[in-house]
């Protein structure tokens, strides 16, 4: 395993041995493909940290702080049955307009990409699907920059003449993506509200990873995605159920609620994956309010 990855685990072991045991068990079950991907990812990430005068200790501190936030939010969620934020303005003030919070949160999410099995599995699902659709994709839009990993994968897999646009409301997310994407000159970056975003041409593929739970009216967002797709265009969309976090607004209690919303937005599910965050069935996860990460390829109808 990559030396950087080992260093990350060693730091976590010292600071949170209980969490380390859980991670170590999950990582021991992964295949050689995981090791190769993780090595590449963390080498790139450490280069990014070094460039910005930060260390792996800093990154792990961010990750553990994010875990503490999630644990606190989960306790409140089990007590109240709802997320702590109910409006975008609340989250905007609490998270998106606060560079310090956004920075540790984004670094934490970056580490989770290979420390959380469901995040890694959904990335594999995405890359496999992109390869299968490669011939049909020449205009690609990503909604929500996040950490830039998904669009980086798409750039590596799709044809050189593909148009890449990236839209996010957060300056922090866009800046991190610009740093993390190798071929950023191939991407048009837009700091803009997706609801006001319009292009002259339609896209034949859109990626929107874990954005639906961040908005007040997810159906309106899915309808916007539909409107930005050309006839027969496809999208890759992910969102979790029962996932309290400092910036989550819309609560999905089960996967069927997400499927029903897709149908209302006239998006047909062609492939899907259901990934509970614990080793339990979907039914048990719903009953115990355990987070499920749901991902789907959908087609405009």
Q: pLDDT tens digits for 13-46?
A: 999 999 999 998 888 888 888 888 888 888 888 9
Q: Is the dihedral of CA 173, 175, 176, 178 positive or negative?
A: positive
> Which long-range contacts does 290-294 make (Cβ < 8 Å, 24+ apart)?
290/242, 291/240, 291/241, 291/242, 291/243, 292/240, 292/241, 292/242, 292/254, 292/255, 293/118, 293/119, 293/122, 293/238, 293/240, 293/243, 294/238, 294/239, 294/240, 294/241, 294/252, 294/255, 294/258
Phi, psi of 69 (to 5 degrees): -60, -45
Do 85 and 143 share a domain, yes or no?
no
Do 134 and 111 share a domain, yes or no?
no
Do 123 and 260 share a domain, yes or no?
yes
Do 135 and 254 share a domain, yes or no?
yes
Question: What range defines the domain where residue 29 resides?
Answer: 3-115
Q: Which of 119, 235, 140, 229 is nearest to 183 (CA)?
A: 140
CA angle 12/74/57 to nearest 5° reads 20
d(CA 154, CA 207): 10
Do 89 and 57 share a domain, yes or no?
yes
- The domain boundary, picked from 81, 97, 115, lies at 115
- Would you state the structure tokens that stand for residue 88, as one six-digit string? 């975008």
- The domain boundary, picked from 79, 96, 115, lies at 115
- Would you state the structure tokens that stand for residue 281, as one six-digit string? 């069935």
Do 180 and 88 share a domain, yes or no?
no
Q: pLDDT tens digits for 108-145?
A: 999 999 999 999 999 999 999 999 999 999 999 999 98
Q: pLDDT tens digits for 86-95?
A: 999 999 888 8
Q: Is the dihedral of CA 90, 93, 207, 300 positive or negative?
A: positive
pLDDT of residue 200 exceeding 80, the answer is no
Do 41 and 171 share a domain, yes or no?
no
Mean pLDDT of the region 227-246 = 96
Do 26 and 134 share a domain, yes or no?
no
Do 25 and 125 share a domain, yes or no?
no
- The domain boundary, picked from 70, 100, 115, lies at 115
pLDDT of residue 1 exceeding 70, the answer is no
Q: What is the tally of structural domains in the chain?
A: 2
Do 79 and 155 share a domain, yes or no?
no
Helix or strand or coil: residue 6?
A: helix
Do 289 and 255 share a domain, yes or no?
yes
Q: pLDDT tens digits for 255-292?
A: 999 999 999 999 999 999 999 999 999 999 999 999 99
């Amino acid at each position: 395993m990559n030396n950087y990855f080992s260093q990350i685990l060693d730091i976590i072991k010292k600071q949170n041995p209980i969490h380390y045991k859980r991670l170590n068990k999950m990582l021991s079950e992964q295949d050689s493909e995981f090791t190769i991907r993780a090595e590449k990812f963390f080498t790139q990430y450490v280069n990014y940290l070094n460039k910005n005068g930060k260390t792996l200790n800093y990154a792990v501190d961010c990750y553990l702080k994010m875990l503490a936030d999630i644990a606190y939010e989960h306790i409140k969620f089990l007590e109240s049955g709802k997320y702590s934020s109910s409006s975008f303005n609340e989250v905007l003030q609490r998270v998106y307009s606060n560079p310090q919070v956004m920075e540790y949160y984004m670094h934490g999410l970056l580490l989770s990409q290979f420390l959380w099995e469901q995040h890694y599995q959904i990335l594999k699902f995405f890359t496999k699907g992109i390869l299968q659709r490669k011939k049909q994709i020449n205009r690609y839009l990503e909604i929500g920059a996040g950490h830039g990993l998904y669009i980086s994968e798409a750039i590596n897999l799709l044809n050189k003449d593909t148009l890449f646009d990236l839209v996010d409301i957060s300056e922090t997310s866009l800046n991190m993506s610009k740093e993390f994407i190798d071929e950023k000159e191939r991407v048009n970056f837009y700091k803009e509200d997706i609801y006001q975003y319009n292009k002259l041409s339609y896209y034949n593929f859109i990626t929107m990873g874990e954005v639906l739970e961040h908005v007040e009216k997810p159906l309106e967002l899915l309808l916007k995605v539909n409107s930005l797709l050309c006839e027969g265009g496809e999208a890759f969309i992910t969102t979790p159920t029962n996932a309290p976090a400092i910036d989550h607004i819309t609560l999905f209690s089960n996967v069927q609620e997400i499927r029903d919303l897709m149908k209302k937005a006239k998006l047909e599910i062609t492939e899907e994956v259901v990934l509970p965050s614990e080793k339990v069935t979907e039914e048990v996860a719903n009953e115990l309010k355990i987070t499920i990460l749901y991902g789907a390829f959908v087609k405009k109808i």
